[in-house]
Amino acid sequence: MSDTAWLDEPLAYERVPERFNIVPVLVDRHVTGGRGERPAILTPERTVSYSDLAIGVARAAHLLMRLGLQPEQRVALLLPDSPEFVYAFLGAMKAGIVPVPLSTLGPPEEYDHALRDSRAVALAVHAGLYDRVERVWPTVPTLRHCLVVEGSPPGTLGFETAHAAEPPVFEAAPTHRDDMAYWLYSSGTTGRPKAIIHLHHDMLFCVAPYVRHVLGMTGEDRTFAVPRLFFSYGLTSCLYLPFWCGASTVLVAERPDPARVFELCAKLRPTVFFSVPTSLAALLREADVTPSNLSSLRLCISAGEPLPGPLYERWVARTGIECLDGLGATEVGYIYISNRPGAVRAGSSGQLLPGYRARIVDDDGRDVSRGTVGDLWVSGESLAAGYWNKHEKTKAAFVGEWYRTGDKYLVDADGYYFYQGRADDLLRVGGNWVSPLEVESCLLEHPAVAECAVVGAPDADGLEKPRAYVVARPGVAVGGLEDALRAHVRSRLAPFKAPRWVTLVEDLPKTATGKVQRYRLRTG
C-alpha cells in the first residue's frame, strides 16, 4: 500500500481502506520513505535496521506460505523477545496468517490447550523452551510444522536456515481491514486461557492517540519494556508504538531484573521505559544498592496494575523521571485511560484518551453520577472482535459497541479515573491476571490441604499479591507446610501465581449456604 497520506489525518474507521494490511504501515513505509538504514531493533548483541526488518519479515512470510499455511490459519509463537519473534509475528500477518504468541512462563498443559484450541498449523519455538512442548506438539492434530530457533531437534525445522533461504521481498496479502490479524491468550474468571481476536485495523486506533496525546514519540525515541512481547502491554509498547513512528525498540530475551534494567539503560540508552508497579518498586529497592544511570530516559509508563500514589511519589523523588500511570486491557488492545505529561494525578489511572468513550454504570447497566463507584465500560475502534470459541463469554463481555472491563472505577470532577477494585475475584499481579480458583485448585491437589481460599493482599509497596488461607487435613504435620505449599504451586503454575503468603487457619469464614466470605479474608 503506497498511499498512506490518510494516516496523517484524524483517524476514523471509514478512512481505513477496506483492503488493508497493518504490516506495510509498520515496516515498509519507513523503507520507501528513505528511513531504511535507521535502527528498528536494538539488542545487546546486534542492531536490525528497518531495511533488515523488512527483509526478515518478508522471508518469514514466504517461509510460512511455503509450509502450506493458508490465510487466517494460526501459527503459535513460543519465543523470547528477539528479532526472530518480530520476523515471525509480522511475517505471519503480512501473509494474512494469524500469529498467536504464547507466554514463555506457562507449563506444558497450558501449551497443549492453546495449540489445540487455536488449531495451530505451525509452531515457532526457541530451543531453550522446546522441552516444554517436545511431548505436546506431535499430539496436536492440526499441527504440521515445528520451527525451532537456535536448534533443530529431530522432526523439526531449523528456523534460521529455512528463513535465510527465502526471498527478501513479499507483497502483503490483500487482507480486509476487518480480517483477523493476531490473537493473544488471556486468563478468564475460571483461569482457563481464552484467545482474544484482534483485527488488522485495531492497532491504528491504539497507537495513534497514545503517541499523539501521551508519548509525543518521534523517530529519535527508543522504547524499552519490562513486560514481554507475548503480553499485550509489551507487544504494543515495543513493537506497534515504535514501528508506527519509525523509532527503535530495545529487545532482550530474558525478563530483565532490576540490575539488568540499569545495565541496559546505560548501554542502549532508551528514552521511553514501560514497566509495571511491581517492577518499579523492585527498581527503587535495587537503586539503593546498585549504581543506576537512567539519564537517557525522558518518560516512564506504568500499566498492568494500578500504580499506588506513594509508589509514584517515591519513583519521581528518586529518579526525577515523570511516570504516567494508565489503564489498558488486552480486549481493548492497549492503554485507553492515561495520565498525561505535566498533568499527573497520583493514585489515578488518568483521563480518557481521544477516540474512546467510557461509562461508569451500576449493576443494571445504568450510568451513575460522577464520584460514584460503578463498573467501567469502554468503547472504541480498537476493541477486539471477541473470544475464539467462547460464545457465552463474548456475549457477557461485549455488549454491542461496549466492553465490560470488570473494573470498578469512579471519575472525579476533572475526568480522572480512580480504581476501586475488580467486579469479580480476579487478581492483578505484576501486570498479569491471576484466577484465585486456579490457584486454589492447585493447592487442593496437595495431600495436606483440606480447604483453601486465595485473595489479594497488599505487599510492603501496596501492590496486590496472592494470599492463601489453608485448612490442613487432620493429622497433617504443619511444620514447614507454608513453604511446601508455595513450592507446590510454583512447580505447577507460572511463578507469579504462587501465593506470596500462606496462612494456616482452623476454618474459613462462610455464609449460611457454605460460600466462603472472601471479603472477611481480605480485611483479616
Q: What is the pLDDT of residues 398-418, one digit of tens each?
A: 999 999 999 989 999 999 999
Could you tell me which residues come within 8 angstroms of residue 12 by beta carbon, excluding any fewer than 6 positions away? none
What phi, psi does 376 have (nearest 5°)?
-90, 125
**Does residue 513 surpass a pLDDT of 60?**
no
pLDDT of residue 423: 74
Percent of the chain with pLDDT over 90: 77
**Does residue 117 surpass a pLDDT of 60?**
yes
Per the domain annotation, does 371 fall within a domain? yes
Per the domain annotation, does 258 fall within a domain? yes
Q: Dig out the grid coordinates for 375 from the structure.
A: 463498573
Whose cell is 513505509? That residue is 29
Torsion 238-240-241-242 (CA) sign: positive
pLDDT of residue 424: 73
What phi, psi does 475 have (nearest 5°)?
85, -5
Mean pLDDT, residues 284-299 taken together: 90
d(CA 316, CA 459): 20
Query: Residue 38's closest CA among 250, 271, 219?
Result: 219
Q: Dig out the grid coordinates for 290 from the structure.
A: 546498585
Q: Are 459 and 465 in contact (CB under 8 A)?
A: yes
Looking at the structure, do residues 246 and 338 belong to the same domain, yes or no? yes
**Does residue 2 surpass a pLDDT of 50?**
no
CA 350 to chain centre: 20
Residue 270 is part of a domain; what is its CATH number?
3.40.50.12780
Alpha helices in 28-158 (DSSP H): 29-30, 50-66, 83-94, 108-118
Q: Are strands 98-101 and 74-78 parallel, antiparallel or unpaired?
A: parallel
Whose cell is 481491514? That residue is 177
Amino acid letter, residue 351 = Q
Looking at the structure, do residues 383 and 334 belong to the same domain, yes or no? yes
Residue 511 is part of a domain; what is its CATH number?
3.30.300.30
> What is the CB-side half-sphere exposure of residue 296 using CA atoms within 13 A?
20
Query: Residue 440's closest CA among 513, 489, 380?
Result: 489
Per the domain annotation, does 300 fall within a domain? yes
Mean pLDDT, residues 223-234 taken together: 95
Q: Please report which confidence band the pLDDT of residue 1 belongs to, taking 50, 70 and 90 as the band edges.
A: very low
d(CA 300, CA 275): 8
Count CB atoms within 10 A of the CB of residue 396. 13
Amino acid letter, residue 392 = E
Q: Are 407 and 327 in contact (CB under 8 A)?
A: yes
Say which residue, 420 or 443, is predicted with more confidence. Answer: 443
CA 56 to chain centre: 24
Boundary of a domain, candidates 422, 446, 479:
422
Mean pLDDT, residues 266-270 taken together: 97
Query: Residue 467's closest CA among 440, 495, 432?
Result: 440
* Cα torsion through 160, 166, 168, 173, rounded to 10: -110
Q: Are 235 and 101 in contact (CB under 8 A)?
A: yes
Per the domain annotation, does 185 fall within a domain? no
DSSP string, 462-478: S-EEEEEEEEEPTT---
Per the domain annotation, does 32 fall within a domain? yes
Per the domain annotation, does 429 fall within a domain? no
Looking at the structure, do residues 416 and 454 belong to the same domain, yes or no? no
**Does residue 47 surpass a pLDDT of 80?**
yes
Amino acid letter, residue 439 = V
- pLDDT tens-digit readout, 304-327: 888 888 889 989 999 999 999 999
- pLDDT tens-digit readout, 166-218: 999 999 999 999 999 999 998 644 457 899 999 999 999 999 999 999 999 99
Per the domain annotation, does 182 fall within a domain? no
Query: Residue 407's closest CA among 415, 394, 417?
Result: 417
Looking at the structure, do residues 153 and 39 belong to the same domain, yes or no? yes
Boundary of a domain, candidates 376, 399, 422:
422
pLDDT of residue 204: 96
Looking at the structure, do residues 158 and 215 belong to the same domain, yes or no? no
**Which stretch of DSSP H or E encloses residue 208?**
helix 204-210
pLDDT of residue 190: 43
Helix (H, G, I), strand (E, B) or coil at 174: coil
Residue 67 is part of a domain; what is its CATH number?
3.40.50.980
Q: Please report which confidence band the pLDDT of residue 509 belongs to, taking 50, 70 and 90 as the band edges.
A: confident
Looking at the structure, do residues 291 and 390 belong to the same domain, yes or no? yes
Looking at the structure, do residues 83 and 210 belong to the same domain, yes or no? no
Q: Please report which confidence band the pLDDT of residue 334 belongs to, taking 50, 70 and 90 as the band edges.
A: very high
DSSP string, 366-410: PBPPTT--EEEEEE-TT---EETT-HHHHHHHEETTEEEEEEEEE
Q: How far is CA 346 from CA 210, 260, 307, 388, 523, in A?
A: 20, 28, 8, 37, 24
pLDDT of residue 191: 54
Per the domain annotation, does 159 fall within a domain? yes
Q: Are 97 and 182 in contact (CB under 8 A)?
A: no
- Range name among 88-92, 127-131, 417-421 with the lowest pLDDT average: 417-421
Mean pLDDT, residues 361-388 taken together: 93
d(CA 186, CA 322): 30
Query: What domain range includes position 454?
Result: 435-523
Q: Please report which confidence band the pLDDT of residue 512 belongs to, taking 50, 70 and 90 as the band edges.
A: low
- Look over the chain and give the mean of its residue pLDDT values, rounded to a whole number: 93
- pLDDT tens-digit readout, 343-373: 999 999 999 999 999 999 988 899 999 988 8
Q: Dig out the grid coordinates for 181 from the structure.
A: 490479524
Looking at the structure, do residues 154 and 16 belong to the same domain, yes or no? yes
Number of domains composing the chain: 3
Amino acid letter, residue 476 = V
Looking at the structure, do residues 298 and 445 belong to the same domain, yes or no? no
Label residue 33 exposed, middle or buried (CB < 10 Å: 0-12, 13-18, 19+).
exposed
Report how far apart the first and last C-alpha atoms of the chain are (Å, whole number): 60
Measured in residues, the chain has a length of: 524
pTM, to two decimals: 0.86
Looking at the structure, do residues 100 and 71 belong to the same domain, yes or no? yes
Boundary of a domain, candidates 401, 422, 443:
422
Looking at the structure, do residues 372 and 440 belong to the same domain, yes or no? no
Looking at the structure, do residues 153 and 245 belong to the same domain, yes or no? no
Count CB atoms within 10 A of the CB of residue 437. 15
Query: Residue 386's closest CA among 221, 137, 176, 195?
Result: 195
